[in-house]
């Protein structure tokens, strides 16, 4: 997934964990806005524009990083169903 200006999103540039910030939960760099909060807002149907309006410390690249993180997590975590048996 590309960020602004067609540059690939590097999650580690946008999402960080620090035990001293929000108990080590993933947050967007330089903020106290958690990844979980943004993903929950997206899942609830909020637009990127609405999220950015609610959290002015976020940038559009942060919302894109949240989506990229969810996509990468789904790719790693979803089980692959067994191939159908041919009889």
Structure confidence at residue 7 (pLDDT): 66
The CA angle 23-55-18, to the nearest 5 degrees, is 20
Sign of the CA dihedral running 22, 25, 30, 33:
negative
Which class is domain 4-69? mainly alpha
DSSP letter for 48, please: H
* This prediction's pTM: 0.77
Q: What value does the mean pLDDT take over residues 9-25?
A: 92
| DSSP output for 8-21 | BP-HHHHEE--TTS
Q: What value does the mean pLDDT take over residues 45-54?
A: 98
* Residue carrying the six token digits 């903020």: 31
Confidence of residue 85 (pLDDT cuts 50, 70, 90): confident
Structure confidence at residue 74 (pLDDT): 81
Pick the more confident residue, 74 or 45: 45
**Structural domain boundaries in the chain:** 4-69
């Amino acid at each position: 997934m590309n960020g602004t200006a067609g540059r690939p999103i590097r999650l580690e540039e946008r999402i960080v964990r620090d035990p001293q910030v929000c108990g080590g939960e993933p947050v967007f760099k330089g903020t106290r806005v958690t990844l979980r909060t943004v993903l929950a807002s997206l899942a609830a149907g909020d637009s990127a524009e609405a999220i950015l309006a609610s959290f002015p410390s976020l940038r559009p690249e942060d919302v894109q990083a949240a989506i990229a993180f969810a996509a990468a997590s789904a790719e790693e975590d979803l089980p692959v169903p067994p191939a159908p048996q041919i009889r």
